[in-house]
Amino acid sequence: MLKIASWNVNSIKVRLPALLRWVSDAAPDVVLLQETKSLDEAFPRLEIEDCGYNLAVHGQKTYNGVAILSKRPLEDVSVGLDGDDDDRQARYIEAVTGGVRVASIYLPNGNPVASEKFPYKLAWMERLAAHAATLLEHEEAVVLGGDYNVMPADLDCYDPPAWRDDALCRTESRARFRTILHGGYVEAFRTLHPHRRAYTFWDYQAGRWQRGEGLRIDHLLLSPEAADRLEACEIDTDPRGREKASDHTPIWCTLRE
């Protein structure tokens, strides 16, 4: 089995002890990290390498940042998405490991909707959809994991009416997410748990974690070749309840080898 996890850690510096504890307990083969908020040279490579992982990082000071950790060699590493030469935000990294092409994605939030941030989110999603379609042409196992900042359906939100006009729930965001799925990808968690109410994010404010008021915005999208090998997909809520937790929690899937 190949266990692939995704986790928005909301600062690798702050969350390093939590990450090291979780990888020791959960033993994922591949970890896709988002919102590392670290320049490449400041990334805690030694500590993570001591846990047996190879690294590929694409960082940015204070904001964004993505990384791939793998117990197997990382090959064909690339960063960024085509389609906007002026985009310098560190939101996408891709590599091949263990015979699977994986990507760590930190999709723009898009709020406030009335600002330039929402058009940027939609344009970024269109670029992602185009790249995802190109990857399918190679007919290889692909896992596009990360913080998509999209709730695909009302089931993925604790209070759909309150979130209706938020960028994470807007019809435009959901439509572009569906474009990727309609292009041939499978959303691992919903495929195996079509009716389960489960969340990957709980805001720090208003006691959302304690009240169980979350959002499901972290996803693992699988190409047909990866979907054929899908065994399990779960959300591990334990890290969210620990001290100095990220506001996100890991989601993982296993693929037959």
| C-alpha closest to that of 89 among 111, 67, 63, 56 | 63
Catalytic, 106? Answer yes
pLDDT of 171 reads 98
Give the start-to-end residue ranges of the domains of the chain. 2-255
Peptide bond into 112 cis (omega under 30): yes
CATH node for 2-255: 3.60.10.10
Radius of gyration of the chain (CA): 17
Quick one: pLDDT at residue 190? 98
- Residue 120 designated active-site: no
Which residue in 53, 106, 148, 199 is the catalytic one? 106
pLDDT for the residue numbered 32: 99
CA distances from 212 to 157, 158, 204, 216 (A): 11, 8, 12, 12
pLDDT in tens, 217-239: 999 999 999 999 999 999 999 99
The answer to whether the beta carbons of residues 187 and 219 sit under 8 Å apart is yes
Q: Which of 29, 147, 166, 247 is catalytic?
A: 147
φ, ψ of residue 109 to 5 degrees: the values are -70, -50
Q: What parts of the chain have a pLDDT lower than 50?
A: none
Amino acid in position 4: I
Note the pLDDT of residue 251. 98
